[in-house]
Amino acid sequence: MRYDIIMMGHISKDIIIDEQGRETRLYGGALLYSSISAARSGARVLAITKAAREDFRALDVAKAEKNIDLASIESPNSTSILNKFLSADHERRETTLLSSAEPFAATDIPAGATAKIIDLAGLFVGELPDSLIEELAGKAEIAADAQGLLREAQADRRMLFRDWKNKSRYLPLVRYFKADAAEAEILTGLTDREKAARTIAAWGRNASGRELEVMVTHNTEVIAHVDGKVYRAPFTPSNLSGRTGRGDTTFAAYLAWRLNHDPQESVRFAAALCSIKMEAPGPFQGSLEDVFARMERDRA
């Protein structure tokens, strides 16, 4: 079966505590937010995940999407993450890995399944081993999220961000790379988002001289560095009740739209879609018409 995008990653039983101490429990995870975002953007998606069987119900919302096929692999445990936000803009948070599903392997992709892009939609270090990039690079263009490469569970299960020690080896094998502003700073030491994006893109230059496309998200905007140019679009949510999953949603929408559109249009599309998503908890549930209307509103 030929897909536009194959996505690999855990679903997560999320516990969210906002800056006022209010608690919300819901199913999330990079794979869930990403697959629905890409599917509603028109891409044909194969979503591969691992979880305890009793948590497969988290995928019911994805099963309802006509553009998603699912490959659910049973694991002794599901991934569960506690997110405690420390500021009203939801830029500062503490995260704790309460439990984790088994890591992925290249053999988890069903025989006969191929795609233009394989998106490694990770939540923490070890979920999608670095070696997967090398194993899969010859099969499709690789997309990777810094979150799954930098966010590491400590002995007390708190998750802290560390620099990616293998970045020089693996970035040249990646075609699309996404980081938020804090992750970009950890990788490069630069607080300027544009400079950080340019630096990461240069690190990802492959043997043929091609740089990777780099997305950096921030609470105000999303930028993409493509072929030496920076493209940007603002986030315009009316509230942040659906802030969790911002980066996953934006990146997946960009990847889906980028299949047939230029970088500027893809950045604008992704920012508009995610702005709508951030106004309600859970994965994006809007339509293309909603996204186009937001794009026109934000253009004005």
The 10s digit of each residue's pLDDT in 30-85 is 999 999 999 999 999 999 999 999 999 999 999 999 999 999 999 999 999 998 98
Mean pLDDT (whole number) for 4-23:
92
The number of residues in the chain equals 300
Contacts of 20 (CB under 8 A, 6+ apart): none
* 113-147 burial: b if 16+ Cβ within 10 Å, else e: bebbbbbbbbbbbebbbbebbeebbeebbbbbbbb
Domain count, the chain: 1
With a cut of 80, say whether residue 221 has pLDDT above it: yes
Contacts of 227 (CB under 8 A, 6+ apart): 211
Q: What pLDDT does residue 19 have?
A: 85
Give just the sign of the alpha carbon dihedral 90, 174, 193, 5: negative
Which pair of tokens denotes residue 142? 């690789």
Report CA-CA distances (Å) from 255 to 81, 106, 225: 26, 21, 14
Distance between CA atoms of 188 and 173, rounded to whole angstroms?
18
CA dihedral 49, 171, 233, 269 (to 10 degrees): -40
The 10s digit of each residue's pLDDT in 164-215 is 999 999 999 999 999 999 999 999 999 999 999 999 999 999 878 888 999 9
In which domain, by residue range, is 15 found? 2-299
The 10s digit of each residue's pLDDT in 107-126 is 999 999 999 999 999 999 99
Residue 160's nearest CA partner among 246, 98, 103, 93 is 93
Q: What is the pTM of this model?
A: 0.94
Q: What pLDDT does residue 300 have?
A: 64
| pLDDT averaged over every residue in the chain | 94
Q: What pLDDT does residue 151 have?
A: 96
Distance between CA atoms of 197 and 212, rounded to whole angstroms?
10
CATH number at residue 196: 3.40.1190.20
With a cut of 90, say whether residue 28 has pLDDT above it: no
Q: Are residues 286 and 40 in contact, defined by beta-carbon separation less than 8 angstroms? A: yes
Long-range (24+ apart) CB contacts under 8 A made by 189-195 are 193/218, 193/223, 194/223, 194/225, 194/230
With a cut of 70, say whether residue 90 has pLDDT above it: no
The 10s digit of each residue's pLDDT in 223-251 is 999 999 999 999 999 998 888 889 999 99
Which residues are registered as beta bridge partners of 223?
A: 216, 232
